[in-house]
């Protein structure tokens, strides 16, 4: 700390807004993404953390966006089961919706064959690593790393 004109200046850490285990911000299109690898939390907590940092759980409106993140996850090759995304089954049926558009069919999806398969008890969307990061519905109470998106 150094006094300037009588005021005390406290330097802020430049990574203040990033969770400690983050790999940093990735840029694609109009969004920034933050892949948080080491923090394993349930889906609701993941969404709350993303919102707390000024974003949301990642929602992919285009195949390009989805492929970009999948390639990053392949490169990271972290020892995880999968990553939470911002999709949820709002009406307990055979498809999922993005949180920001709960009443709309997803513009596209990348579900693993047979997914989603838990319309009453697997309501939360994941990128599942054993499926080369294709999507599936999963139990919301599982603890997984997650991907935040900032627009
Ligand atoms: Ca649905
Ligand atoms: Ca499932």
* CATH code of 139's domain: 3.10.100.10
Three-state DSSP class for 43? helix
Residue 3 lies in a domain: no
Distance 57 CA to ligand 1 centre (A): 17
Share of the chain above pLDDT 90, in %: 83
Q: Quick check: 9 pLDDT over 80?
A: no
Give me ligand 2 centre to Cα 16, in Å.
Answer: 35
Q: Which ligand is nearest to the CA of 125?
A: 2
Whether residue 6 lies inside any domain: the answer is: no
Residue 130: which pLDDT band, with cuts at 50, 70 and 90?
Answer: very high
Alpha-carbon gap, residue 50 to 44, rounded angstroms = 10
pTM score: 0.85
Number of domains in the chain: 1
What is the number of the ligand closest to the CA of 105?
1
Per 3-state DSSP, what percentage of the chain is helix, strand, and coil (rounded to 5)?
A: 20, 35, 45
Tell me how far apart the 2 most distant CA atoms of the chain are, in Å: 66
Mean pLDDT of the chain: 90
Q: How far apart are CA 60 and CA 86, in angstroms?
A: 9
Specify if 52 maps to a domain. yes
Q: Is residue 11 part of a domain?
A: no
Q: Give distance in angstroms: CA of 44 to centre of ligand 1.
A: 18
Its domain, for residue 35, covers 18-150
Return d(Cα 124, Cα 146) in angstroms, integer. 12
Residue 33 domain flag: yes
More confident residue, 44 or 9: 44
pLDDT of residue 141: 98
Indicate the pLDDT class of residue 80, thresholds 50, 70 and 90.
very high
* Confidence class for position 5, pLDDT limits 50, 70, 90: low
Q: Return the ligand number nearest the Cα of 137.
A: 2
């Amino acid at each position: 700390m150094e006094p300037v004109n009588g005021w005390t200046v406290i330097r802020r850490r430049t990574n203040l807004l990033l969770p400690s285990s983050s790999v940093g911000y990735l840029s694609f299109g109009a969004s920034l993404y933050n892949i948080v690898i080491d923090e394993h939390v349930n889906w609701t907590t993941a969404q709350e953390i993303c919102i707390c940092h000024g974003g949301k759980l990642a929602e992919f409106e285009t195949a390009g966006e989805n492929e970009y993140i999948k390639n990053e996850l392949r490169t990271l090759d972290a020892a995880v089961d999968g990553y939470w995304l911002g999709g949820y089954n709002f009406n307990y049926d055979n498809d999922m919706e993005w949180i920001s558009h709960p009443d709309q069919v997803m513009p596209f999806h990348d579900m693993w064959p047979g997914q989603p398969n838990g319309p009453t008890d697997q309501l939360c969307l994941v990128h599942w690593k054993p499926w080369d990061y294709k999507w599936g519905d999963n139990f919301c109470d599982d603890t997984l790393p997650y991907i935040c998106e900032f627009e």
